[in-house]
Homo-oligomer: A and B are copies of this chain.
């Protein structure tokens, strides 16, 4: 590598509550962390609106990105170095890809991307390849280095072993976020023995595999992931906040399209509303900016926008009931829609079905949507075996998609406010029914 300075004169360390210390010896890593595009991740929460459910979860994507980097560094420097199948000249590439894999995330990206039909992965590519500080640092390694880093993150890089370190069913990304999100929320489910897993990872030609002796640690990791999804990531209160967030963005867009005159003009949103987002627009929109607008919009004349913003800012969320999309329930939903309209509550914004769905683990099912690389165990005789064929536990949940539907609505409007009495009664009957 021609990178000027290659190694730092003295290793730098970050104190990290999850991995204890994060070690940086490579100047390029140090310089990447110092770029404004990477520092921007400090203003984007790792778990979006989850802090409204688990107050401890206020950590940022900056935090997580350093963690993923550190895991990869340990795998390479402590486990892979010197082993067959591992090409140590890929080391820096892996470290950079790990550090930058979430670079394109925007504010509250889950909802934001859905509303504006964007994909943070495109922006990750754009930042790495575009006219940015990150690109300038990467180019100092070599002209084609940004492209390689982008390819690893996009999973198109030829060396699939490298790709699988960053994205697979047991990659550094998942390991860090499970541990980190468990730490910050305070739930104990996310814990598993990462140190053990790292020790039993082995490089193979086109992917990372796990020594059979570490199977139980992997089982535990899969169970942790399963529990974190349902206990934390899909928590109905968090989804309520996401629903409101989504509706705010929809409403603002609609008002903008209708020529509504904002008191606080959505300058930062223009290009999003019109579908003409440039990289620089995107980079300027972090969660501080979003929160600034939401706070201002509490005072807009439009009743729906201001109400939704007040709900979000002050955490007056929607309540929910179970909702299974059966014919019967769909009929009730249609009836409710009518009743809401009658009561003067716009169902477009105030009656929302939200679904969450997770596939805890799956082996390869050719031809199916979302084919996923399975986890392979390296047996004592050198053979590879797909995890669910060895593990009773994993087999039990493999390929079993679980889905949960809930119906969200503003309980306060219905119970507290003076809507017409009979309408109110009927609504309550259906919701509590």
* Residue positions of A touching B, CB distance < 8 A: 13-18, 20-21, 34-36, 39, 42-43, 51, 54-56, 58-60, 62-63, 66, 183-189, 191-193, 195, 199, 216, 219-220, 223, 226-227, 230-231, 284, 286-289, 291-292, 295, 313-316, 392-393, 395-397, 400, 402
* Shortest Cβ distance from A232 into B: residue: B15
Known: A36-B313, A58-B58. A216 touches B199 (CB 8 A): no
| A39 touching B314 in the complex, CB below 8 Å, given contacts A15-B185, A15-B186, A287-B288 | yes
In the complex, the answer to whether B314 meets A36 with C-beta atoms within 8 Å is yes
Report the 4 A-B pairs with minimum CB-CB distance, sorted nearest first.
Answer: A396-B396, A17-B186, A288-B291, A292-B292
* Cα–Cα distance between A313 and B284 once the two chains are bound (Å): 11
Residues of B within 8 A of A15 (CB): 54, 56, 185-187
Nearest neighbor of A192 in chain B, beta-carbon distance: B188
**Which single member of B18, B186, B315, B402 contacts A392 (CB below 8 Å)?**
B402
* Cα separation A172 to B55 with both chains bound (whole Å): 19
| Contact call A193/B199, Cβ cutoff below 8 A | no
Q: Which residues of B contact A292 (CB under 8 A)?
A: 288-289, 292
The residues of B that contact A63 with a CB separation of less than 8 Å are 55-56, 58
Query: Are B231 and A216 within 8 A (Cβ)?
Result: yes
Identical subunits present = 4
Which chain B positions have C-beta within 8 A of A219?
227
Residues of B within 8 A of A288 (CB): 287-288, 291-292, 295
Cβ contact within 8 Å between B195 and A216: no
| Bound CA span A188–B219, Å | 13
With A15-B54, A63-B56: A21-B195 Cβ-Cβ less than 8 Å: yes
Q: Smallest Cβ distance from A11 to chain B, in angstroms?
A: 9
Shortest C-beta distance, A99 to chain B (Å), equals 13
- A183 interface neighbour in B17, B191, B396, Cβ under 8 Å: B17
Complex contacts, A55 vs chain B, CB 8 Å: 14, 16, 42, 60, 62-63, 66
Q: A15-B56, A17-B185 are in contact. List 17 more A-B contacts (CB 8 A).
A: A42-B315, A43-B291, A58-B60, A188-B191, A188-B192, A188-B193, A189-B216, A189-B220, A191-B191, A223-B393, A287-B288, A288-B291, A289-B292, A292-B292, A392-B397, A393-B397, A396-B397
Judge whether B20 and A195 touch: CB under 8 Å: yes
How many Å lie between the Cα of A186 and that of B21 in the bound state? Answer: 9
- Most B CB within 10 A of own CB, among A56, A187, A189: A56
Query: What residues of chain B lie closer than 8 Å to A227, measured between beta carbons?
Result: 216, 219-220
Q: Could you give 21 example pairs across A and B, Cβ below 8 Å?
A: A15-B54, A15-B56, A15-B185, A16-B56, A17-B183, A20-B195, A35-B314, A42-B55, A42-B58, A55-B62, A56-B59, A56-B63, A58-B58, A187-B193, A188-B193, A188-B220, A216-B231, A223-B393, A286-B295, A393-B393, A393-B396
